[in-house]
Amino acid sequence: MINKNLNYIIILLLCEDCFKRAFAMEQNFTNQMASSRHYVFVYGTLKTNEPNHHWFYKNEAGHSNFICNAQTIEKYPLIIATRYNVPFLLHSAGVGHYVKGEIYEVDDIILKDLDELEEHPTFYVREEHFVKCIDGSEKNMKVWIYFIKQFNQKLLNLPMLDHYTNEGEVQFQYVPRYDRNPEYDIKQLILL
């Protein structure tokens, strides 16, 4: 009987140790997830139903979640430029309109994929700014936004939008990278 009770005590001690380890692992996982959570404001082809929206879901190892529709707190020039009709948000606060878009929560994996798409930091530059949710809560959120910072000033002469959509006339529709002429470098037209 003593041996049987001793066995139960050993099993309980082992189970307690396993429980502590499992709890510590869960805490570590939770901390990692919290540190890898980012909020990104998208205003162009990454929005829902737009040509590059699939970048939020193409990497099965990553995680993304729609948070809300939002709008910039400052005015910025949102333009469509080049023969490929690419939307650009120019880093020129106070010029243009309050720009409407969407906020997504993403992990490090998806953020890295978005950086690749936007060619951060050599083309677009990702910066943190506050935007306002416009789905009723009106709360301000600190988010990453992809801007063109060092741009050709002639771009400020183009029509400025308060939101982007790829719907409409064919001559103004976005042309995906795989359909573009590789010898035509849009960076030369946009950047200084």
Q: Which of 47, 29, 160, 175 is nearest to 103 (CA)?
A: 47
* pLDDT tens, residue by residue, 132-175: 999 988 899 999 999 999 999 999 999 999 999 998 776 689 99
Residue with tokens 């005590």: 9
**Which H or E element spans position 25?**
helix 2-35
pLDDT exceeds cutoff 90 at 16: no
Catalytic residue, chosen from 60, 116, 118, 138, is 118
Rounded mean pLDDT, 59-73: 97
Predicted model pTM? 0.81
What are the sequence ranges of the domains in the chain?
A: 38-190
Rounded Cα distance between 134 and 68, Å, is 7
Between 42 and 33, residue with greater pLDDT:
42
For residue 7, the one-letter residue type is N
* pLDDT tens, residue by residue, 107-141: 999 999 999 999 999 999 999 999 999 998 889 99
pLDDT exceeds cutoff 90 at 105: yes
Average pLDDT of the chain is 88
Structural class in CATH, domain 38-190: alpha beta
pLDDT of 192 reads 87
Rounded Cα distance between 25 and 108, Å, is 20
pLDDT band at 18 (very low <50, low <70, confident <90, very high): very low
Residue 16 annotated in active site: no
